[in-house]
Amino acid sequence: MITVASGKLWPAASVRSVGSSFLHAKNLISLKLPFVDRFQTTLSFPKRLFKLQIRAKRTESTSSSLGSRAPFLKLPEPLTGKVWKLDDFESYPALLVMFICNHCPFVKHLKIDIVKLSNFYMKKGVAVVAISANSITTHPQDGPKFMADEAKIYNYPFPYLFDESQDVARAFRAVCTPEFFLYRKEGRRPFELFYHGQFDDSRPGNNTPVTGRDLSLAIDCVLSGQQLTSLQKPSVGCSIKWHPNKSY
């Protein structure tokens, strides 16, 4: 039997049946299963149980050139069937593009507060759009039907778009979920990247309250016409799940 963090007991045979693999290192065992990025496990000898502590593999966003133009996008919204284009946001002074998905624990950790922040700043004139680019070959739970369900359940105030080809994610150079790109628009100039960083310092399990401080400060600076002088810390989350066996 195997004890998962929730306290649930799994027969070892059932774990083997889904293709588990063990790497032994004294008292430390690493268990990898197909439906998660990574398990880190600690051996618990009493009752011959393995106590599993689940931690998703962490990926940091890579640096982007501030001032660079927003890439072209044209993507469908599964909830409504509408196709959204970058031009649809031309009248807004700021555009927040978020790469998220349904299954990632880092996104789930922030999801309610992402909705709160979006509602607050959309009322101030900021355009917000979310994009899921995960391969549904490897992660069907991130597919269009489930995206539409997610948008309804959490009452997303922003369009939640599906990047099936992953071309838009590649154009933005997005690598993780969640990942935030904030663009500023001045007059007739195109959208220019103002902020590419984290939501805040909170992560699943680090006991730091979710505040949205970093992203909120950046948006406030855009709306007030000020420069952002604080450090732009990279966003941390699950890696975007690229299509297997596809060359880019």
> Does residue 247 sit within a domain?
no
104 with 158, same domain? yes
The reply to whether 20 and 125 lie within a common domain is no
109 found inside a domain? yes
Instruction: Flag whether 246 is in a domain.
Output: no
Same domain, 24 and 82: no
Tell me: do 115 and 207 sit in the same domain: yes
Do 46 and 161 belong together in one domain?
no
pLDDT above 70: residue 48: no
Residue 165: CB partners within 8 Å, gap ≥ 6? none
Give this prediction's pTM.
Answer: 0.77
pLDDT above 90 (res 84): yes
pLDDT digits (tens, 9 = 90+) for 115-127: 999 999 999 999 9
Sequence length of the chain is 248
Q: Which of 13, 32, 54 is the last residue of a domain?
A: 54
Domain assignment present for 248: no
Residue 151 lies in a domain: yes
Residue 194 lies in a domain: yes
pLDDT in tens, 147-163: 999 999 999 999 999 99
Q: Do 118 and 42 lie in a common domain? A: no
Same domain, 199 and 156: yes
C-alpha–C-alpha distance, residues 216 and 129, integer Å: 16
**For residue 102, what is the domain's CATH number?**
3.40.30.10
Same domain, 25 and 74: no
7 shares its domain with 63: no
Domain annotation covers residue 245: no
Last residue of a domain, one of 15, 34, 54: 54
- 56-65, 95-104, 165-174, 228-237: which has the minimum mean pLDDT? 56-65
Measured CA to CA, the distance from residue 4 to residue 17 in angstroms comes to 17
Bridge partners, 94 (sequence order): 126, 184
Residues 103 and 223 in one domain: yes
Task: Give the separation between CA 179 and CA 26, rounded to whole angstroms.
Answer: 37
- 44 and 108 both lie in a single domain: no
Same domain, 218 and 186: yes
| Host domain of residue 50 | 2-54
Q: Does 89 map to a domain?
A: yes
The pLDDT of residue 103 is above 60 = yes
Which of 54, 69, 97 finishes a domain? 54
End-to-end CA distance of the chain: 43
Number of structural domains found in the chain: 2
Cα separation of 155 and 159, whole Å? 10
